[in-house]
Amino acid sequence: MTLKTLLSLCLGVVMIPVANAVEPEKKQTSEQITAQTEILDRHVSELMADRVGFKKDLSSVKILEAEYEEILSHESLMFPAEDLYGSNWDTRWVDPFKGSNEKVEFPDSCAIDCSSFVYPIAIDSIARVTSKYGPRRRRMHKGIDLKVLKGDTIRAAFDGKVRIRNFERRGYGYYLVIRHPNGLETVYGHLSKQLVQVNDIVKAGQPIGLGGNTGRSTGSHLHFETRFLGQAINPAEIIDFENGVPHEDKYVFHNVKINGRKSNIYTSSSNQMVYHRVKSGDTLGKIARMYGTTVSELCRLNGLKCTSMLRIGQSIRCSAGVEQANNNRPSKATAKKVVVEAKQEAVAALNDNNSAEQSNEPVYHRIKSGDTLGAIALRYGTTVSKLCELNGITKTMVLRIVRAIRCS
């Protein structure tokens, strides 16, 4: 036996016990891995089961939230704008506070949510406004008339609850009043048929009536009003009737002041509309001077004529604010100064006119606030009759500011 063979045998004898010792360790490690894998699988299964349960719970919560929101929405329709109107639910008068001893608290301003507005007539009838909001034939037209044919479908403008279903032979004819959660009430007049009953809950766009010509009406149309706490608001301030959509999703109204006091007339801007309550001795000219405007502008804003008679207590809309009116009111000293300056300007104008006559070119005057035909004639060395002849006007015509008038 060689030395090499002997060494191989010795090495084999030593390696056999080592191999026998490693084999159990491998078996033990494999079993541990299998056990740990089974434990992990159980944890994953438990987590998946918990996740499914969590999803079910989350779904249940969402369902509960949706049901809660639906309950709140239904409650807001059951008691629309309760924070503003309280328990008042009169089913006789368009103004719910008419004949009531209940004291109404009119807020200084209110935000109206108009995002859910639906045009009350067919979409192809948009922009067919036949009569606007404002004074008309010595009475106030408190809504807008939209052209419809008899039998056309009339729809609710917002979600709400029907407060009035009535008939007025000399007024609205067959009409409906709906109160909305946003605080507005809408009126639908001159219907041929009413499709809903008092206390019915309606959705925006739901058919509520058919167009007609009942009551005080000269042709088939829908009389549409928007009211806030019983007070009429110009619907055109809320709705763009040319496009059939609200001007803004949320519209803010302010309580207008008349002669410095809250009037409970609401408009979209605290400075946009200023009113004057007519007192004894007031004339259109006096009011125009007081508010820094013109008689023609007052007539345009109020649908009046220059010869219209004013009633004591009547509200006249003006184009300038009270502060501006006070600033524009001239003092006696200022008036004297104006007269002196006018005389000086007249002398200078005569010289200008002489040169103008030599050149045979027409001379024009741009009308400013306070100008009259007499003052212009004096300034340019002519007569009122001549001015009227040159411009094709009458002596009683109201001059418009910025207009150019020929003087020679």
| Per-residue pLDDT tens digits of the chain, which is 408 residues long | 566 665 566 555 555 554 555 455 555 577 777 777 778 777 777 777 766 666 666 666 666 666 656 666 667 788 888 888 888 899 999 999 887 777 777 777 788 888 889 999 976 655 588 999 888 777 889 999 999 999 999 999 999 999 999 999 989 999 999 999 999 999 999 999 999 999 999 999 999 999 999 999 988 999 999 999 888 888 988 888 888 888 888 888 777 665 555 555 666 554 445 677 788 888 888 888 777 788 888 888 777 888 888 888 777 777 544 344 444 444 444 444 434 444 444 444 444 444 444 445 677 787 777 778 888 887 788 888 888 888 878 777 777 776 777 887
Global confidence as pTM: 0.54
Phi, psi of 83 (to 5 degrees): -65, -25
Q: Residue 337 is part of which domain span?
A: 332-406
Radius of gyration over alpha carbons of the chain, in Å?
41
Pairing verdict, β 245-246 and 207-211: unpaired
| Cα(336)–Cα(48) distance, integer angstroms | 95
- Cα dihedral 22, 25, 30, 34 in deg (nearest 10): 180
In a domain, 80, yes or no: no
| Number of domains the chain contains | 3
Q: In this structure, are 251 and 341 located in the same domain?
A: no
Q: How far is CA 223 from CA 94, 359, 361, in A?
A: 13, 60, 55
Report yes or no: 275 and 256 within 8 Å, Cβ to Cβ. Answer: yes
| Cα(13)–Cα(368) distance, integer angstroms | 128
| Cα(71)–Cα(171) distance, integer angstroms | 38
Cα dihedral sign for 210, 96, 99, 264?
Answer: negative
In a domain, 284, yes or no: yes
Q: In this structure, are 254 and 362 located in the same domain?
A: no
Q: In this structure, are 262 and 342 located in the same domain?
A: no
Phi, psi of 25 (to 5 degrees): -65, -40
In a domain, 261, yes or no: yes
Q: What is the CATH number of the domain that holds 173?
A: 2.70.70.10
In a domain, 219, yes or no: yes
In a domain, 300, yes or no: yes
Give the residue among 177, 210, 175, 215 at the shortest CA–CA distance from 193. 210
In eight-state DSSP terms, residue 123 is G
Q: In this structure, are 392 and 259 located in the same domain?
A: no
Q: Using the 3D structure, point to which of 282, 300, 328 is the last residue of a domain.
A: 328
Q: What is the CATH number of the domain that holds 317?
A: 3.10.350.10
In a domain, 322, yes or no: yes
